[in-house]
Every structure is written in C-alpha cells, then in structure tokens.
C-alpha cells in the first residue's frame, strides 16, 4: 500500500518547484543564500564503494562486467545528448552541461540549484 506522499510524488515536486520560483521572485536574498548551499558529491562513489572493498577485491571479474557496460552507457548517453543539443542549436556552454547531467548517474554533478536562484538571476550561467 502506498501512502499519500508516494501516490502524489509528481505533484509534490511540481509544488516545490513553483514555491522555489515564487520565493526567488519575492525574496531574492533568501534565494541567493540557498544558492550558496549547493553540495558537491564528487566523492560519493569513493565513499560508497569504500565500505565494500573486500567484496570488490574478491570479485574483480564481476566488477569488470559491471564497469564495461556502464562506461559504454555513459559515453553513449553523453554523445547522444550532446549531439541532440547541438542539433537544437544550443550553445556549447548549454549543450555540454546538459549532456553531462544526462549521462552522469548523478555522482559527479552538484545537486541542482534551487529553482528560486534561477528565478532571481536567470541571466547568469551555472558555476563551473
């Protein structure tokens, strides 16, 4: 049995995005503060896999079987996303990050900026 949160998850996400955009319009100072709270998760795979080191060392062939398809998948999705973005005439500064986020599996990209920060400063690019 699913609860009300799980049943209406898409609605909650949309409501949070709308609330973030409204917050950015009403209180840009709060939006800028929240923008500074972005968390980078570059070390997440290392942290996650460090607890299973003995399993990884004991099963190197299994790890290889998992790694090769993931490598192929990540590259395929990146180049497909980048190519489509360029076909849509997006600039490099927009096409490359879009392709990276699409192919990232969310390990090496920062958590998304709050929508409120985009509402109050839409002309500024994302930090690099």
Please compute the mean of the pLDDT values over residues 46-63 and round it to a whole number: 78
Residue 124 φ/ψ region, left for φ over 0, alpha for ψ in the -120 to 50 degree band, beta for the rest: beta
Q: What is the pLDDT of residue 120?
A: 47
Residues 50 and 101 in one domain: yes
- Is residue 39 within 8 A of residue 125, CB to CB? The reply is no
pLDDT in tens, 18-41: 887 888 888 888 877 877 776 655
What pLDDT, in 10s, does the model give residues 62-111? 878 888 888 888 889 899 999 999 999 988 888 888 888 888 765 544 44
Residues 123, 31: contact at Cβ < 8 Å?
no
Q: Between residues 53 and 106, which one has the greater pLDDT?
A: 53
pLDDT confidence of residue 19: 85
Q: Please give the residue range of the domain that contains residue 25.
A: 1-40+113-122
The mean per-residue pLDDT over the stretch 49-61 comes to: 80
Q: What percent of the chain has pLDDT over 70?
A: 70
Pair 74, 61 in one domain? yes
Tell me how many domains the chain contains.
Answer: 2
Q: Is 58 a member of any domain?
A: yes
Residue ranges of alpha helices (H) inside the chain are 4-7, 9-26, 28-35, 44-50, 53-58, 60-87, 92-103, 115-120
47 and 102, same structural domain?
yes
pTM of the prediction?
0.44
Secondary structure letter of residue 108 according to DSSP: S
């Amino acid at each position: 049995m699913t609860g009300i949160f799980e049943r209406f998850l898409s609605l909650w996400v949309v409501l949070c995005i709308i609330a973030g955009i409204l917050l950015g319009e009403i209180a840009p100072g709060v939006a800028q503060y929240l923008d500074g709270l972005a968390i980078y998760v570059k070390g997440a795979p290392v942290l996650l896999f460090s607890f299973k080191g003995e399993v990884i060392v004991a099963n190197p062939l299994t790890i290889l079987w998992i790694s090769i398809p993931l490598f192929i998948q990540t590259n395929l999705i990146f180049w497909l996303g980048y190519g489509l973005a360029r076909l849509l005439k997006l600039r490099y500064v927009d096409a490359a990050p879009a392709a990276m986020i699409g192919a990232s599996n969310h390990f090496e990209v920062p958590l998304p900026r709050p929508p409120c920060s985009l509402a109050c400063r839409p002309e500024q690019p994302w930090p690099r």
